[in-house]
Chain A
Amino acid sequence: MEMLYALCVGILTTSGIFLTLRGRTFPVVVGLTLLSYAVNLFLFASGRLGVDDAAVLQEGPANYTDPLPQALVLTAIVIGFAMTAFAVILAMRARADLGNDHVDGRLPTIPDESTAREKP
């Protein structure tokens, strides 16, 4: 099970990073969202996985999950939303002010990056 979980985290990270490396704002925002899923799952897993463990205190002995990563991830989810919202609104504002939705705020003049680099 752990292997599959780790595979999911890896694939989410890969997809997220690939999208954040794109040149337009919207894919970057989507990539950030994917990446924050991956980060949250990763953080959550630091408390180790457990099926049907007790999340709330019970009478008598019980097998509890680790509440600390959960508390961390809970706030991370909410803050992640605020971050996504900020990024997306910033993207809109950039689009409105600059006339394009490229992450650099200007459209690449030469599509081939290797030649663009030599320009001063």
Chain B
Amino acid sequence: MNLIWVPLLPLLGTLVPLLTERAGRTSCAWATSLLPALSLLIVLFHAPAVLSGATLKSSLPWIPALDLELAFRLDGLALLFALLILGMGLLIILYARYYLSPKDSMGRFYSYLILFMTAMLGIVLSNNLIQLWVFWELTSISSFLLISFWSDKREARRGARMALTVTGAGGMALLAGILLIGNVVGSYDLDRVLASTIQIRNSGYYPAILILMLLGAFTKSAQFPFHFWLPHAMAAPTPVSAYLHSATMVKAGIFLMARFYPVLSGTDMWFLIVSLTGLITLLTGAYFALFKHDLKGLLAYSTISHLGLITLLLGMDTKLAAVAAIFHIINHATFKASLFMAAGIIDHESGSRDMRKLNGLWKYMPYTATLAMVAASAMAGVPLLNGFLSKEMFFSETLHQSTLGALSWLVPVLATCGGVFSVAYSLRFIHDVFFNGEPIDLPRTPHEPPRYMKLPVEILVALCLLVGVLPGYVIGDLLNSASSAVIQGLVPEYSLAIWHGFNLPLAMSTIAFIGGLVIYYNRKVLFQFQAQFPEADAKEVFEKLIQLLMAGCRWLNDRLENGSLQRYLMLMLLFTVALIVTPMMTLNQPAGDRPQLPLGGVEITGAALLILGALATVIWHRKRMIALITLSIVGLIVSVTFARFSAPDLALTQLSVEVVTVILLMLALFFLPQRTPKESSPHQMMRDLAISALVGGMIGTLCYALMTRPLHSISDFFLANSKTGGGGTNVVNVILVDFRGFDTLGEITVLGIAALGIFKLINRMRLFMPAGDERGRPWSNDRYPVILATVSQLLLPLALLVSVYIFLRGHNMPGGGFIAGLITAVAIIQQYVANGVDFIKERLRLNYQWLIGSGLLIATLTGIGSWAFGRPFLTSWFGHFHLPLVGDFELASAMLFDLGVYLTVIGATLLILANLGKLTTSERPVLTKEEL
């Protein structure tokens, strides 16, 4: 079976609970567990090969252009984690069936849970770093959803937000680290990265990579000083805590460190940072766990402490320490998950998690109590249980390391201190809850839970015992293969025996037990001592920081975003300038080596007119009518410029667009004030002038620099293939309708949408209708001038003929659909101008929306037509024919496409102008004689 199915099946499984929720709670749980169970079977099927040392791989192309693929690999480490995730997940599904109350949405809960499972599987199986990161983020998001499952509770929302913020920020750091690794190695492929140890360690980026990757790992695995989110995440339903916060998600950070152990470890920097962080986390976690009155709070801090222990092991400079770390990952997952489940049972059946109220539960639930006591003993490290073995290994490794140089003796001493507290809080869990007198006003009388709620706990506790008694048989192979994946080499000799004789680690364990007993016995004194310190509530500190951040952002936002478009534009322009300035500086001289054209009288005259026109527009911009006239001068010169520099198509287009633009603006001016009031302060004027001159100067320089440099263009291809491939000699037109026909199709669609948008905007517009111009002179009520009307009617057929001619020759000579469409539009608008809307309405029954639609339809159908011949969309066809009388002529499917363009342009232009024009005439207020 392909490895891809391992994460894919659970991904599909996220839908199952939503679909089966109505079928009843037990059926829903069964259905939900089906796909993960299948996935587990696949993993088990592959397990023998992996245990014998193979690494299985499988990949699918994802984004080939970016060299990204969906790649999965299953080695020893991945196998261990996959088994943990899937196995534990199935137990949690069973447990949650009984834990959730009927009013909780079971489908939603399971769906989130399976989503999280998919994400975790994705992390551990990824063979591509970017993919790993995507799944990493998915765990943050799905854990946010799970923690905030009881979203009506304020603390659940806050805890979820805190977890998301911390782990999300860590995820960002991780992404940066991954990108740096990709930069150094030249690939995001995990195989290649793992094979590039020397390259990464010797690169100058190594410190940055290490710190960023560790930030990702430490935030996820709740290492000091990022540990504060984990206790607050306990607001989640207990199955979530048992799954995410003991066995899986918090282990993702550990997994990351183990995964990159071959490439990142081995330097002093790694040993120092990782071991010190682990040590501090181990101690703070163990110390604070003792003082938590909440059962889950105690377990949360204990988890932090154990995660610190694993981190410390990974940070030690012996290979055996890494083996011990892997071993403890397994052991911690089993005993901590069972403890969380037991805590959930206690909470569920007694209604409280407060250890000051929960006492003497032994009498009410002896069976659960036994299970919980075994698991807690494993946590404390009692012999014959799995916790003992990994703890012994840990103690023994602390004695063999030299991580801190001459201060290395501190590590075993502090480790023993951690052990002391760990025994003390485990004792507290056992003694306070199950003995220690009678329960104090519990909401419910505690009793044993339903049969199958205990089953997952039983399985896990059995595992604790089995591993504790027969470690070599039960876990030896798996531990070996996972460890060799971490070390990337042969695992050193070690013994999983229960009894190693009287040695120093055993002495350390003994000290820990005695010390733990002493501390627990004197806990009242310690509690009083601890009560003197004002408890810094991480939640409050965190909230305050977030508030501060929000206030900062708001402040900045208020400065930037004050609702003034002018300010936005100014900031945007300044930013553009800032972006352009640096590359411009590197340009030594603006002029390149391309020979320049000589300057002639025609050009100078044109340029002078253009500059004068532009300046006049600016100077008289308050007198809007005059500005419009000077603007049209500029437009005309621009079209002449195109004609001068060998671009007849552009000249024709610009000329016809110029006509419609000016008519449009004049129409608009009718509804807008005729003058612009003087508003800007001199200071503002100067500022705007400076900014625009700066940008204009830059653009001009850029334009000059561009023009004077030699041209390397892809246009040679178009020139070479236009006639042979597109069947036309007008290359510009062939590009539009053939080479880049798809772009043009998009473009006319935009044109049509813009026209329809305008149509909608005009509809039901409350009009500002001045009865006269700004000086109070009324509009002329004269009839339409007869000469103009007559001449334009005479001209219409001629103009239409010209447009048809321009259209038909477009493929081979300057012209084409765009230009012909504009010319037709202008010809019809001329009729509007000369004869009025009412006159046209009677004679020209054209629905312009329909015109746009049919144009787009023709263009699209032409494109689709090529499918009928088994060619890609918009493949063109052409052929030459001979007709008697007419002579030789050419037909091309591109012309049909051009017809679509033609119709759309006419429709869009007329839809805009005719509708606007209609408003000016039909509803114009007429002054009465008296008013005059």
Contacts and interface: CB of A to CB of B under 8 A. Distances in A.
Interface of A: 1-27, 29-30, 33-34, 37-38, 40-42, 44-58, 64-68, 70-71, 73-75, 77-86, 88-93, 95-97, 101, 103-104, 108, 111-114, 117, 120
B618 A15 contact: yes
A84 B909 CA distance: 12
Given A9-B703, A40-B650, A48-B707, 20 more contacts: A4-B607, A6-B701, A7-B611, A10-B703, A29-B668, A46-B706, A51-B646, A55-B646, A57-B723, A66-B713, A68-B735, A71-B736, A77-B650, A78-B747, A81-B909, A84-B661, A89-B758, A92-B765, A103-B566, A113-B684
A30 B628 contact: yes
B597 A56 contact: no
Nearest to B655: A77
A27 B607 contact: no
Interface in B622-651: 622, 624, 627-628, 631, 634-635, 638, 641-642, 644-650
B565 A103 contact: yes
B598 interface: yes
A47 to B, nearest CB: 7
Given A70-B732, A88-B668, A96 B765 contact: yes
A48 B711 contact: yes
A21 B695 CA distance: 13
A1 B596 CA distance: 7
A19 B363 CA distance: 86
- The DSSP consensus for interface residues of chain A is helix
A68 B479 CA distance: 64
Given A10-B703, A30-B621, A84 B671 contact: no
Given A67-B719, A85-B664, A4 B604 contact: yes
B614 A11 contact: yes
B704 A6 contact: yes
Interface string B683-708: 11000110111011101111110111
Given A7-B607, A47-B713, A96 B766 contact: yes
A5 B692 contact: no
Contacts of A7: 607, 611, 700
A71 B740 contact: yes
Contacts of B731: 55-57, 64, 67
Interface residues of B, number: 118
**Which one of A6, A45, A111 has the greatest number of beta carbons of chain B within 10 Å?**
A6
Contacts of B684: 113
Interface in B593-627: 594, 596-600, 603-604, 607, 610-611, 614-615, 617-618, 621-622, 624, 627
Contacts of B680: 22-23
A8 B611 contact: yes
A71 to B, nearest CB: 4
Contact of B747 (A55, A57, A79, A86): A79
A49 B762 contact: no
Contacts of A20: 569
B753 to A, nearest CB: 9
A51 B595 CA distance: 13
Interface in B791-816: 812-814
Contact of B597 (A1, A73, A92): A1
Contact of A74 (B618, B650, B908): B650
Contacts of A6: 700-701, 703-704, 707
Interface in B745-763: 747, 750-751, 754-755, 757-758, 761-762
A68 B750 CA distance: 21
